[in-house]
Structure 1
Amino acid sequence: MNKFKPHLALLVCNVIWAMDYPFYTIVLPHYVRPAGMVAASLFVTALFSLIPLLWQKAERVDRKDIRKLVGAALLIGVLRKGFIMFGLSKTSPIDGSIIDTIIPLLVLLFSVLLGIDRFTKRKIAGLTLGMAGAIAVVVTGASSAHAHSHLWGNILILLSALASSVYMVWFKKVVSKYKPTTLMRWIYCIAAIVTLPFGLGDIVHADYPAIARHALFPTLFVLTVPTYIPNLMLNYALKYVAPAVSSIYTYLQPVLAIAVSVAMGLDRLHADTVIFAVVIFVGVGLVLQTYSSRKRTDHPVTSRH
């Protein structure tokens, strides 16, 4: 059962993240404007992050790491969340979920640039394939055939993936130094403080009667579920499962997001999108294979949404 629990945690958190894309599309920007949703979701996550203090003594953070945690909050809390919210308000959940799967490739690229990792022929081939597929998905957002997609929305989703990748590489040491609950508390409380002044007006002026009638469950879901709970599950799973193995579960996200979006009539699957997605998957798979034989890996703990 102990061996099963980490895989169950990975499965659950990736299913939750897959549900983000269609539910965000329902809520944004029809019922809540993106800035309001960013601020509200970060505020709720910050409140959740304080709950463990009821039974857990606060972990002391070194003064020299506070500046790093502020940077992490701005990157993964404010920028990542902002890019993905504004991006999904302008593009399709299918495109968003597919573009987001290139994060392992971007992590490799930044790791090489910082001298943490090195290229091999297989890594170069995987990076080339994956990036080509991602760029193709982004560009097709400008095509009139993709009515639910939009070029600028796809670019914002790509920028959110870039923010996640930089965070995962740049803040690796500080992330591995503290408990997951400590990191969540610092990152999301800071992010909430930064974003609340910008989103407060949209929160106040949201159409709450319309939300109650037509989008209550999706709104409550994206406010309360996608950030805090899945990230705790992921950090728990990474204590027992190699990051290369956990990355395989991310392939579930576009598959589930596509199934839900099509079933709910929010999007339509195109043949070229399927082809580009396969190209990305092959590219990411080639890169992950290079790490699968290692007993230990340099990949840091990830944080999403």
Structure 2
Amino acid sequence: MTPQSRLSTSVKPHIALIVCNIVWAMDYPFYNLVLPRWVDPIAMVSGSLAVTALFSLVPLLWQRGERIDRRDIPKMIGAALLVGVMRKTLIMYGLSKTSPIDGSIIDTIVPLLVLLLSVILGIDRFTRLKVAGLVLGMGGAIAVVLTGVSASHTHSHLWGNVMIFLAACATSVYMVWFKRVVAKYNVTTVLRWIYCISAVVMLPFGFRAILHTDYAAMTIPIVLASLFVLTLPTYLPNLMLNYALKTVQPTVSSIYTYLQPVIAIALSVAMGLDRLHWDTALFAVVIFVGVGLVLRSYLVRRDAPGSRVH
């Protein structure tokens, strides 16, 4: 392999991580723009899962379908219900009720929740640094959630923040509980099972809402934002993330997730959807410091809580 090709191979995973985190950061303001004024959240959940399921079938045009062990089928169904149905529903309903800035900050606690679950299941162990980071990060996240009751946070709502927090919990459980099963198969196979099952489960609930959406009332910017939410934030970023994880340490990939609140805040303020409050900024710094302490504790051991899934 030439030096130029080696450089290309080493750079591509980092480009993939940057792109997928930028796309995920754009979720927050665009979801908030479209939901629930223009599209009912259940309609958007069902529609986005159906589109993602169709995307997941495309690799079958050039790739033979991979056989799944019968013992793993119930686990795939569980993964689909958890990360496809539950997380997607909580994220969309949560962002229809709260600030995109608060939502993006709350969702950054996933590495901390993964650590907590890993310790509970005996996969990991606590150290002083991890405990300090966990206390700081969880304290900051709870503070952001509770700002939803503050009169000064007109764009935020307590129950919306709680839903985003529960979505982060669903992601964490998926990453810890289903890690071994997901690692057994190709990325395209896992995504195909998860999103085809999720679409079949959700379409009966959202089909009526999809039909009754007032498409004629949508302006061109709203149509474009809706198309973005339907097509981009799920399948493609998850493909890029899993491609990157083949060569990049989880510790490194976790660091890239902190691009998301920065980009989400910039977009939300620029689009006039929200404004950054001093207390939210302070709590965000507390979360980042907490997660930073946890990540630092893994540098010597060269392992870390997993990266995020949308």
Decide: shared fold, TM above 0.5.
yes
Moved more, 286-295 or 11-20: 286-295
| 1:151-166 matched pairs, under 5 angstroms | 151-166=158-173
- The equivalent of 1:36 in structure 2 is 43
- Among 176, 179, 194, the alignment partner of 2:183 is 176
Cα distance per residue 1:47-106 (max 9 Å; x no partner) = 000000000000110000000000000000000000000000000000000000000000
Q: 1:50 to 1:212 in 2, by over 3 A?
A: farther
Q: How many Å apart are 1:301 and its aligned residue?
A: 6.1
Which amino acid letter does the alignment assign opposite residue 161 of structure 1?
A
| Amino acid paired to 1:126 | G
For residues 164 and 115 of structure 2, the distance between their equivalents in structure 1, rounded to whole angstroms, comes to 19
TM-score by length of 2: 0.96
**Structural mapping, 1:7-26, within 5 Å:** 7-26=14-33
2:75 is aligned to: 68
Q: Work out whether residues 235 and 301 of structure 1, in 8 Å CA contact, stay in contact via their aligned partners in 2.
A: no
How far 1:210 sits from its partner (Å)?
A: 2.0
Distance 1:8 1:168 in 2: 23
| TM superposition shift of 1:152 | 0.2
Determine which of 97, 101, 106 is the counterpart of 1:94: 101
Secondary structure (helix, strand or coil) at the match of 1:94 reads helix
Q: Which amino acid aligns with 1:284?
A: V
Superposed CA offset, 1:118-150 (max 9, x none): 100000000000000000000001101000000
Give the secondary-structure state (helix, strand or coil) at the position aligned to 1:7.
helix
Q: Which residue of 2 aligns with 1:254?
A: 261
2:253, 2:307 within 8 Å by CA — same for their partners in 1? no
Whole-angstrom distance in 2 between the partners of 1:2 and 1:50: 27
- The residue aligned with 1:221 is 228
Partner Cα distance (1:257, 1:224) in 2:
19
Query: Structure 1's 71 and 103: CA in aligned 2 closer, same or farther, altered over 3 A?
Result: same
Alpha-carbon offset, residue 212 of structure 1: 4.6
> Is contact 1:175–1:300 with CA below 8 Å preserved after alignment?
no
1:214 CA displacement: 4.5
Bigger mean CA offset, 92-101 vs 205-214: 205-214
Instruction: Give, as a single letter, the amino acid of the residue that structure 1 aligns with 2:154.
Output: A
One-letter identity of the residue aligned with 1:173: R
The residue that corresponds to 2:150 in the other structure is 143
The SS at the match of 1:73 is: helix
- Deviation per residue, 1:238-287 (Å, 9 max, x gap): 00101110000111000000000000100011000000000000000100
Are 1:55 and 2:62 an aligned pair?
Answer: yes
Shift of 1:302: 4.2
Residue in 2 that maps onto 1:294? 301
Look up the match of 1:269: 276
State yes or no: 1:188 paired with 2:192.
no
> Given the superposition, is the C-alpha separation of residues 300 and 67 from structure 1 closer, same or farther in structure 2, using an over 3 Å criterion?
farther
Aligned with 1:6 (options 2, 13, 38): 13
Equivalent residue of 2:103, what SS? helix
Paired residues of 2:20 and 2:241 also in contact (CA < 8 A): yes
Q: 1:300 to 1:134 in 2, by over 3 A?
A: closer
For residue 303 of structure 1, the aligned residue among 301, 306, 309 is 309
Amino acid of the structure 2 residue aligned with 1:203? I
Scaled by the length of structure 1, the TM-score of the pair is 0.98
In structure 2, C-alpha distance between the alignment counterparts of 1:198 and 1:292, rounded to whole Å: 45
Report the alpha carbon displacement of residue 292 of structure 1 after superposing the two structures with TM.
Answer: 2.1
Write out per-residue CA displacement over residues 19-53 of structure 1, whole angstroms, 9 at most, x where no aligned residue: 00000001100111111110000000000000000
1:287–1:169 Cα change, 3 Å: same
Contact conserved, 2:251 with 2:304, CA < 8 A, in 1?
A: no
